[in-house]
Structure 1
Amino acid sequence: MNAFTRELHLFFNALTFFSRIPAPAWVKFSSAQLNHASRYFPLVGLLIGLIAAALYAAFSLLFPSTIAVLLSTGCTVLLTGGFHEDGLADVCDGFGGGWSTEQTLHIMKDSRLGSYGALGLVLVLGLKLATLVSLASLGDILLALLVGHTLSRFVAASLIHTDSYVQLDELSKVRPLAQRMSQSELLIAAAPALACLFLLPGHSALAIIVTLLLVRLYLCRLFRRRLGGYTGDCLGATQQLSEVAIYLALCLPPSLL
């Protein structure tokens, strides 16, 4: 297997892990390949963002922007199988109801949705929809969807590079994408995120960078203090919270920067 083919296999491993988009029949899947597929996490986000933007553009031809945003977001959740939303709900339940590390991890492994998880999902999805509707009225929603899905997945992937995985695979209901990311893999993951930033006006790019740095700093400290590192659910929660933070940053008036 040459280098290009190997990278294709890694990309499709990441794509099928994080979405319901089928891979070609010739793709080989294995835990070893999945462990190195995190480098393509943001690239998968870029693809999801392109699909979300295309869906919004199509729906907006038939419906008002609010309905188009709801339909596009719903299709995106179906496309990803609610994978990241599930992680967000588990983190809210675990961190809201757990006191010790062991109790928090135990609650996060429970597939049932608790009150904290329901509240977290409602608040985050509601905020996501509200900001996207606002961006639609400004004419910036297509670029926002592209940037939001890509950069948020880079922030989540970056935790794999800097932090330790704290839950054994056999005890987790969702296996992590990877337990370690090298410097070169991080650079590959950063490429789509940087490309998206160059599409934005300078003040918008600056607002997003500052916002994501603050979000990442807070979540890293929270995960390290409560768990000693990250779990697969923590990556999903990081993606969702980073995506919302990006939309909020794009809604800020340029005069504030």
Structure 2
Amino acid sequence: MPIMPDATTAPAPPPRWTQDAALALVFLTRLPFPPLGPLNGPLAEGASARAMGWFPLVGALVGLAGGAVFAAAAALHLPPLAGALLALAATVRLTGGLHEDGAADVADGFGGGRDLTRKLEIMRDSRVGSYGVLALVFSIGIRAAALAALPVPAAVAGLVAAGALSRCGLAAMARALSPARRDGLAAAQGRPAMATVLLALVSGTAEAAVALGGLALPALAASLLAVVAVATLARRQIGGHTGDVFGAAQQVAEAAVLLTLSAFLGAVA
């Protein structure tokens, strides 16, 4: 006679934080995720917003992958700029160009739209205009130049720290600003709780401190100033945030961190 399953012996659901962390990985990367595990089944309420607390950790892992490519390029005696471009290409491959796409859309929308409706229409358009192309050129060029100016160990550490710090202020932006669209991805994600904001800030700061030591504080300041600048611009231009605005903030913050490190280490040298 078959034995009926006992509800008391059913496996316990995974802890909520594992689903939040897994969701952050799915949001920010193109890594294949197994169908079983934390994301098997319906998402817990508020999981999308809580996942933002884990964005810095995912960013640090993306930066670590880029740092490994930079170190390999240096070991092969490639020019520093070539190594920097290859490292950034590796991070873009992991993220699917998610943040770069957002930065390009924001540049096109803010630069080419005459009013709120037109700005949002341009940002949703999949085509890239001249402002978007220029934004990508400057984003990649500035980050690559800053990386190429760093010695190999500092560049590897810098990519890890920049990956974490450039994402640690996004939860704060999502809490401070309202969604510019009612039907966008950012609106569906929800407003993160203060605990999520604090987790992201503490996590990003801790990861940067491990990678950079005493330089973590000026790097953190640069990243947060960059996020505040993008948030202020977004508020003026479209009255709130979108997923593209998050991407633009990440790109500007990452560039700010890498420029800060190259300035400090250049002064020491």
Same fold (TM over 0.5): yes
Range with bigger deviation, 84-93 or 205-214: 205-214
1:193 CA drift (Å): 1.0
* 8 A Cα contact 2:52 2:170, kept in partner: no
The one-character-per-residue Cα deviations of 1:187-216 (angstroms, maximum 9, x if unpaired) are 2212321213423343x3343233234323
What CA distance in whole angstroms lies between the structure 1 residues aligned with 2:13 and 2:119?
41
Q: What's the % identity of the aligned pairs?
A: 36
What CA distance in whole angstroms lies between the structure 2 residues aligned with 1:69 and 1:2?
45
Matched residue, 2:85: 70
The one-character-per-residue Cα deviations of 1:89-121 (angstroms, maximum 9, x if unpaired) are 000000000121111111101000000000110
Equivalent residues in 2 for 1:1-257, closer than 5 Å: 5-26=15-36, 27-28=39-40, 32=45, 33-64=47-78, 65-136=80-151, 139-169=153-183, 172=184, 175-176=185-186, 178-199=189-210, 200-202=212-214, 204-253=215-264
* 8 A Cα contact 1:164 1:179, kept in partner: no
CA RMSD of aligned residues (A): 2.2
Q: How many positions carry a matched residue from both structures?
A: 250
What CA distance in whole angstroms lies between the structure 2 residues aligned with 1:234 and 1:97?
15
* 8 A Cα contact 1:157 1:235, kept in partner: no
Q: Secondary structure at the match of 2:35?
A: coil
Range with bigger deviation, 192-201 or 48-57: 192-201
Range with bigger deviation, 179-188 or 215-224: 215-224
Supply the AA of the counterpart residue of 2:250. Answer: Q
1:55 CA drift (Å): 2.2
Taking structure 1 as reference, are residues 13 and 217 closer, same or farther at Cα in structure 2, changes over 3 Å only? closer
Range with bigger deviation, 238-247 or 212-221: 212-221
What CA distance in whole angstroms lies between the structure 2 residues aligned with 1:220 and 1:71?
30
1:220 CA drift (Å): 2.0
**TM-score, normalised relative to structure 1:** 0.89
What CA distance in whole angstroms lies between the structure 2 residues aligned with 1:30 and 1:99?
41
Large movers: runs of 4+ above 6 Å: none
**TM-score, normalised relative to structure 2:** 0.85
Taking structure 1 as reference, are residues 5 and 120 closer, same or farther at Cα in structure 2, changes over 3 Å only? same
The one-character-per-residue Cα deviations of 1:16-47 (angstroms, maximum 9, x if unpaired) are 12111122221236565324311111111111
Taking structure 1 as reference, are residues 213 and 150 closer, same or farther at Cα in structure 2, changes over 3 Å only? closer
What CA distance in whole angstroms lies between the structure 2 residues aligned with 1:219 and 1:73?
22
What CA distance in whole angstroms lies between the structure 2 residues aligned with 1:250 and 1:132?
9
Q: Where in structure 2 are there 5+ consecutive unaligned residues?
A: 1-10
Question: Rg bigger for which structure?
Answer: 2
Q: Where in structure 1 are there 5+ consecutive unaligned residues?
A: none
Supply the AA of the counterpart residue of 1:28. Answer: N
What CA distance in whole angstroms lies between the structure 2 residues aligned with 1:73 and 1:29?
34
* 8 A Cα contact 1:37 1:178, kept in partner: no
* 8 A Cα contact 2:48 2:190, kept in partner: no
* 8 A Cα contact 2:227 2:250, kept in partner: no
